[in-house]
């Protein structure tokens, strides 16, 4: 009986020893030339405390308990990667640089005073940014301008900013509503747009729907048109400047929107231009963002 127990114990030890495998590998950056390794990278057998770090040339040796184990490779500033060995004892790993971008536009309320130069001298604007929503920031906004008599100019928006992004490129998904009420003319516009932001450049594409009610000619019509635009940023201390312009061509009617926004540490200042048919407005605004 003792001999049988000894044999079983010996077989168990042998099987455990045979299950172990020595894995050799090299870790490099995908930004560097092949062969230039990353030193100090953590290599750990997933689910265990068994691990090691790469040497000055990016090489490592690790004995794992299972030839089909999964290795987790991590290093500060790079995206953590998991690799299934599948019986391999020699591996080569390229780590991608992790682009950590801090967007500081969540959880804020912005209040602005507006003044139209041509038609609507008094107005205000309120923007509300919700906490992060599925990596992006959801921002709602409403502005109202008037001449305190017959003319009103209303703008609403819902922006889902940088819902997709990497190191250089991010996307915004936006909806804008504009309502113009004059003595003899009324219009409303719904515009659905996407911003493609690459470094300091912005491309705007979308679709816009316009409703027109001309009270003089009794014309009530609807139009649809694509929206195209461009934008760019200028980072010049002590402020950042964003310039954007976009246009929609509704047959013989054109809607033009331009904006210059100055961001400073304390306040935000902007100049907006809007034109539809014979109506145009140049609006100056100043406001401040409050975190909550």
How remote is the C-alpha of 164 from its chain's centroid? 5
Please tell me the distance from the alpha carbon of residue 69 to that of residue 66, in angstroms, as a whole number: 5
Band of the pLDDT at 252, cuts 50, 70, 90?
confident
Residues 92/83, Cβ–Cβ less than 8 Å = no
pLDDT at 83: 92
Domains assigned to the chain: 2-95 (2.60.40.4130), 108-291 (2.40.160.40)
Strand, helix or coil for residue 180: strand
Q: What is the mean pLDDT of the chain?
A: 88
Average pLDDT over every residue of 200-204: 95
pLDDT at 215: 84
DSSP string, 113-154: EEEESSS--EEEEEEEEPSPBTTBEEEEEEEEEE-SSS-EEE
Please tell me the distance from the alpha carbon of residue 177 to that of residue 191, in angstroms, as a whole number: 6
Does the pLDDT of residue 273 top 90, yes or no? yes
Q: pLDDT tens digits for 153-196?
A: 999 999 999 888 777 788 999 999 999 999 888 999 999 999 99
Does the pLDDT of residue 34 top 70, yes or no? no
Q: pLDDT tens digits for 99-150?
A: 666 566 778 999 999 999 999 999 999 999 988 777 789 999 999 999 998 8
pLDDT at 129: 93
- Tokens encoding 69: 């184990």
């Amino acid at each position: 009986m003792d001999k049988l127990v000894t044999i079983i114990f010996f077989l168990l030890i042998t099987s455990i020893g045979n299950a172990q495998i020595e894995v050799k590998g090299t870790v490099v950056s995908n930004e560097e030339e092949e062969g230039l390794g990353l030193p100090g990278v953590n290599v750990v057998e997933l689910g265990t405390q068994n691990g090691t770090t790469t040497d000055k040339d990016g090489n490592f040796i690790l004995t794992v308990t299972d030839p089909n184990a999964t290795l987790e490779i991590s290093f500060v500033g790079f995206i953590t990667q998991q690799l299934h060995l599948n019986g391999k004892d020699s591996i080569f790993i390229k780590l991608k640089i992790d682009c950590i971008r801090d967007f500081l536009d969540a959880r804020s309320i912005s209040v602005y005073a507006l003044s139209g130069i041509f038609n609507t001298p008094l107005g205000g604007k309120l923007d509300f940014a919700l906490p992060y929503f599925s990596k992006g920031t959801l921002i709602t906004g409403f502005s109202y301008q008037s001449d305190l008599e017959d003319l009103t100019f209303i703008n609403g928006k819902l922006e889902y900013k940088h819902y997709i992004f990497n190191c250089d490129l991010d996307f915004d998904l936006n909806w804008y509503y504009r309502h113009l009420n004059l003595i003899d003319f009324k219009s409303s516009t719904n515009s659905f747009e996407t911003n493609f932001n690459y470094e300091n450049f912005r491309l705007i594409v979308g679709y816009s729907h316009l409703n027109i009610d001309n009270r003089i000619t009794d014309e009530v019509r609807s139009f649809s048109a694509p929206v195209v635009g461009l934008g760019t940023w200028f980072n010049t201390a002590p402020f950042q400047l964003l310039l954007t312009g976009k246009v929609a061509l509704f047959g013989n009617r054109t809607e033009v929107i331009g904006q210059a926004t100055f961001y400073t540490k304390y306040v935000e200042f902007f100049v907006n231009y809007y034109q539809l048919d014979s109506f145009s407005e140049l609006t100056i605004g100043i406001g401040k963002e409050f975190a909550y």
